[in-house]
Structure 1
């Protein structure tokens, strides 16, 4: 009986330790309401795709899945055809709060398309990045800039190499500025450069990215974005 009692006591201790260990690994649910602000033009709005198919909304949904369907919100300030001056004006007029957990910026294609002097972009892009930082509560780590898609690789662009060359100048400027400011820059242009080889990457309008292309954008974004939100990639 004494021997049995000793082993029973040891067994009880093992059960208690096991229960204690289980409690230690359990983490409380993530109940934060994460707020995302997406700034840009038709590539952010998602021209010619459904309202939930653009990359900011797909990004929100992917984040929610990784949080166990936690709640995230996305606000989009973007319209088809917007240039950098128009986006600046829209942000000032909308005046969103400076409390976002993540801010994305994708802008510049319409400057190029409308043959605006490159100096407009060179002056406006840094201002827009700083505005994005402001909307992220002053935390530059919460800002992500996406490269400009290459519409030369669509039926509309028809492989025009001058388009690609011009957009490369814009993207290089943006990449260099982001590097100098320690801002995350995610290159997605190469995804769109497959548009003529893979027509499924182009929307039905023959110009803008498709839902599938935006899904590929999100796949590039997630490894960069999730750590910024305190989540595992």
Structure 2
């Protein structure tokens, strides 16, 4: 189902690279289908659109390295980070994870234990600087056609519990938290915000997220 996504992201404390400077900001995006842009081409995902928006504002990001896949839970993301051993030198790291924990009915206590581990790992990968990391809330998939025969109130309640953990841990670790859940609910009235699979975001929805993230990040640049 949620065969993927993803951050996932940042506040930038160190020197900022802008277009025309010698070195662009390296960018690692961690997550699941939302970060992997399932059912869309990667160029239409929020990570790539974010790069393009910031480029126009004079902030140059490298093409994102995406460690995210449809269906990944927090457990899957942890194990894949360990297996791939990315270098700890990224200027920006995003984290967006948890929807598959909820969808698959995993014990939320697993997420309570693993999300802080993922957050600490994200900070370590961002040169041990929490200001180089940002976290995204889990979108609300109850508004999608895919969920029409499911218990939508239950989905919303459970996602709220997950997002509470995410926001609280982000604050505890001095990491930027960006809420995209509310904007994801616009899909209830605008079908064009949903991809052809009736579940994942479309290019238009990803653009909304990318714009919101860029505004948050630009305040730090």
Q: Quickly name the TM-score band, shorter chain normalised.
A: 0.7 to 0.9
Larger Cα-atom Rg: 1
In structure 2, stretches of 5+ residues that fail to align are 1-17
Question: Given the alignment, which residue of 195, 202, 217 partners 1:210?
Answer: 202
Report the Cα offset of residue 226 of structure 1. 2.7
**What does residue 143 of structure 1 align with?**
133
Report the Cα offset of residue 67 of structure 1. 2.0
State whether residues 50 and 214 of structure 2, in contact with CA within 8 Å, keep that contact through their aligned partners in structure 1. yes
CA RMSD of aligned residues (A): 1.7
Structure-to-structure mapping, 1:168-207, within 5 angstroms: 168-207=160-199
Task: Write out the 4+ residue segments of structure 1 that deviate beyond 4 Å after TM superposition.
Answer: none
State whether residues 36 and 60 of structure 1, in contact with CA within 8 Å, keep that contact through their aligned partners in structure 2. no
Question: Given the alignment, which residue of 32, 37, 40 partners 2:23?
Answer: 32
Cα deviation 1:110-153 (Å, max 9, x = unaligned): 00011010011000000000000001000000100000001000
Distance 1:224-1:47 versus aligned 2 partners, 3 A rule? same
**What is the TM-score normalised by the length of structure 1?**
0.82
Alignment of 1:63 with 2:51, yes or no, is no
Report the Cα offset of residue 227 of structure 1. 4.3
Counterpart CA distance in 2 for 1:186 and 1:71 is 19
Greater helix proportion: 1
**What does residue 37 of structure 2 align with?**
46
Counterpart CA distance in 2 for 1:174 and 1:206 is 26
Q: Identify the structure with bigger relative contact order (alpha carbons < 8 Å, sequence gap 6+).
A: 2
Counterpart CA distance in 2 for 1:196 and 1:208 is 13
Counterpart CA distance in 2 for 1:182 and 1:151 is 28
Secondary structure, aligned partner of 2:66: strand
**Alignment length (residue pairs):** 202
**What is the TM-score normalised by the length of structure 2?**
0.87
- Bigger drift between 49-58 and 28-37 goes to 28-37
Counterpart CA distance in 1 for 2:118 and 2:34 is 16
In structure 1, stretches of 5+ residues that fail to align are 1-26
Report the Cα offset of residue 30 of structure 1. 2.5
- Bigger drift between 103-112 and 158-167 goes to 158-167
State whether residues 31 and 71 of structure 1, in contact with CA within 8 Å, keep that contact through their aligned partners in structure 2. no
Secondary structure, aligned partner of 2:200: coil
